[in-house]
């Protein structure tokens, strides 16, 4: 039996929404599974350190740990506008609300073995909003490199400033300074990425990081390290070691330790290496036992900060604009700045 053209068009039009609905439903299921995995990874990290958490709370006291968490929240939260400015520098403007959901939830992926999970989650989220996977990958890599470069420059400056003897232990950091400063040039990182894409027989990125956005990203990185140093200082002050010189050491210590942990890709969230480096550096001011307690407390505080920010971001809902219309928290295509 022949079917007329209008009926065929109606059947096609009816089939399209069904197909789109199935795709959206599949994405929702996959997204839910991924979220469950990353939240479980963070919960397991806390559970494994439950004894250390209890011992540290008894030694430091609940008040300093909570105050440390306030600075920790500021330090971790500042990495989001850093990432957002890097994206803007590559020609993509991520909305604040949906961007926060993508960024903070994806950061829990670092507690799953293999540091590639936050990258994958951000790539897929960006693709769903109109950005290429290549651009999202470049933004993530640039954010990591920029944060580590700023952190290691601070470590090179602040660790010897606290104690000249530190030069005997960390002199090799200065060998990396020329490379780090070169990487901070707006064109350097994107050229390196284009070279890597060429080795993989992929087209170049086609974007150059705009200097004004990179300078803003560097500013957010400095704020993040300053807040994370304050988070560490509060814990040290609870053991009787505070003041400006202690703050200088704490900034250099946390910047050095976290950067070292990030570079150890196969280990979840740099577990182990960050604590070891932080403990060793803090022994310049604390006893070995106190340094270990502070390192453990800092790790636990930052895990809770990651969880809290991810939870807050996941609970973000639609907001109303000035004209009374509703702007969905998770909608909207990415736009050029």
Q: In this predicted model, which residue has the larger pLDDT, 117 or 331?
A: 117
Domain-embedded: residue 25 = no
The pLDDT, as a whole number, for residue 159 is: 86
Q: Could you tell me if 261 and 269 are in contact, meaning their C-beta atoms sit under 8 angstroms apart?
A: yes
Residue 265, number of CB atoms within 10 A of its CB? 9
Distance CA 186, CA 146 (A): 10
Taking only the tens place, the pLDDT of each residue in 217-235 is 999 999 999 999 999 999 9
Domain-embedded: residue 230 = yes
Question: What torsion, rounded to 10 degrees, do the Cα atoms 6, 11, 12, 16 define?
Answer: 140
Q: Is the pLDDT of residue 271 over 90?
A: no
User: What is the distance, to the nearest Å, from the Cα of residue 228 to the centroid of all Cα atoms in its chain?
Assistant: 13
Q: What are the residues whose beta carbons fall under 8 Å from the beta carbon of 147, sequence distance 6 or more?
A: 79, 82, 221, 224, 259, 262
Could you list the residue range(s) of the whole structural domain that residue 181 is in? 34-316
Give the pair of three-digit tokens for residue 191: 């050229």
Domain-embedded: residue 284 = yes
Give the pair of three-digit tokens for residue 113: 């073995």
Choose from 37-41, 61-65, 150-154 the range with maximum mean pLDDT.
150-154
The pLDDT, as a whole number, for residue 48 is: 65
Distance CA 231, CA 295 (A): 11
Distance CA 182, CA 193 (A): 14
**For the chain, percent of residues with pLDDT exceeding 70:** 68
Task: For residues 85-94, give the mean pLDDT.
Answer: 87
The pLDDT, as a whole number, for residue 169 is: 67
Domain-embedded: residue 4 = no
Taking only the tens place, the pLDDT of each residue in 47-86 is 665 665 566 667 777 888 899 999 999 999 999 999 999 9
Q: Is the pLDDT of residue 279 over 80?
A: yes
State phi, psi for 322 to the nearest 5 degrees: -65, -30
Instruction: Quote the number of domains for the chain.
Output: 1
User: Is the whole model's pTM more than 0.85, yes or no?
Assistant: no
The pLDDT, as a whole number, for residue 166 is: 60
Closest CA to 273 of 250, 293, 299, 251: 299
Task: For residues 25-38, give the mean pLDDT.
Answer: 54
pLDDT bin (cut points 50, 70, 90) of residue 41 is low
Closest CA to 100 of 125, 128, 68, 64: 125
pLDDT bin (cut points 50, 70, 90) of residue 209 is confident
Domain-embedded: residue 21 = no
How much is the mean pLDDT over the chain? 76
Taking every pair of Cα atoms in the chain, the longest distance, rounded to a whole number of angstroms, is 92
Domain-embedded: residue 158 = yes
Helix/strand number for the chain, H first, E second:
14, 2
Domain-embedded: residue 282 = yes
How far apart, in Å, are the Cα atoms of 113 and each of 40, 47, 50, 76, 143?
12, 16, 20, 20, 20
Pairing of β 319-320 and β 326-327:
antiparallel
User: DSSP of 232-279, one letter per residue?
Assistant: HHHHHHTTT--SHHHHHHHHHHHHHHHHHHHH-TTSGGGTTHHHHHHH
The pLDDT, as a whole number, for residue 334 is: 54
Distance CA 151, CA 220 (A): 12
Rg (CA), the chain: 23
Task: For residues 239-268, give the mean pLDDT.
Answer: 82
Distance CA 98, CA 129 (A): 10
* Residue 174: DSSP 8-state: G
The pLDDT, as a whole number, for residue 115 is: 57
Residue 327, number of CB atoms within 10 A of its CB? 12
Distance CA 95, CA 42 (A): 26
The pLDDT, as a whole number, for residue 230 is: 97
Q: Is the pLDDT of residue 247 over 90?
A: yes
Q: Is the pLDDT of residue 9 over 50?
A: no
The pLDDT, as a whole number, for residue 7 is: 47
Distance CA 236, CA 106 (A): 30
Q: Is the pLDDT of residue 34 over 60?
A: no
Q: In this predicted model, which residue has the larger pLDDT, 5 or 120?
A: 120
The pLDDT, as a whole number, for residue 228 is: 97
Q: Is the pLDDT of residue 134 over 60?
A: yes
State phi, psi for 215 to the nearest 5 degrees: -65, -40
Task: For residues 5-23, give the mean pLDDT.
Answer: 47
Task: For residues 283-311, give the mean pLDDT.
Answer: 87
Give the pair of three-digit tokens for residue 247: 């703050």
């Amino acid at each position: 039996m022949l079917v007329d053209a209008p009926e065929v068009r109606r059947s096609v039009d009816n089939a399209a929404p069904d197909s789109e609905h199935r795709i959206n439903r599949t994405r929702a299921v996959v997204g839910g599974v991924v979220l469950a995995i990353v939240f479980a990874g963070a919960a397991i990290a806390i559970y494994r350190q439950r004894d250390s958490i209890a011992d540290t709370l008894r030694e430091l006291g609940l008040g300093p740990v909570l105050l440390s968490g306030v600075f920790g929240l500021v330090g971790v939260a500042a990495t989001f506008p850093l990432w957002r400015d890097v994206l803007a520098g590559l020609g993509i403007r991520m909305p604040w609300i949906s961007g926060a959901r993508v960024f903070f939830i994806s950061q829990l992926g670092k507690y799953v073995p293999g540091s590639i999970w936050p990258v994958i989650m951000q790539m897929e989220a960006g693709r769903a909003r109109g950005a290429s996977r290549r651009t999202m990958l470049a933004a993530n890599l640039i954010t990591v490199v920029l944060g580590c470069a700023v952190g290691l420059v601070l470590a090179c400056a602040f660790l010897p400033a606290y104690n000249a003897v530190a030069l005997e232990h960390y002199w090799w950091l200065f060998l990396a300074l020329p490379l780090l400063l070169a990487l901070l040039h707006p064109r350097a990182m994107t050229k390196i990425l284009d070279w890597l894409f060429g080795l993989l027989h992929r087209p170049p990125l086609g974007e150059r990081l705009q200097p004004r956005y990179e300078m803003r990203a560097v500013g957010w990185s400095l704020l993040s390290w300053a807040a994370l140093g304050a988070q560490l200082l509060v814990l040290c002050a609870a053991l009787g070691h505070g003041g400006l010189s202690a703050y200088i050491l704490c900034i250099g210590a946390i910047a050095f330790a976290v950067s070292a942990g990030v570079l150890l890709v196969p280990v979840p969230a740099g577990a182990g290496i960050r604590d070891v480096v932080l403990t060793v550096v803090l022994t310049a001011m604390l006893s070995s036992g106190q340094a270990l307690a502070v390192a453990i407390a800092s790790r636990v505080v930052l895990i809770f900060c990651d969880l809290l920010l991810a939870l807050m971001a996941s609970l973000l809902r639609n907001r109303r604009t000035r004209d009374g219309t509703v702007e969905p928290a998770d909608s909207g295509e990415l736009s050029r700045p």
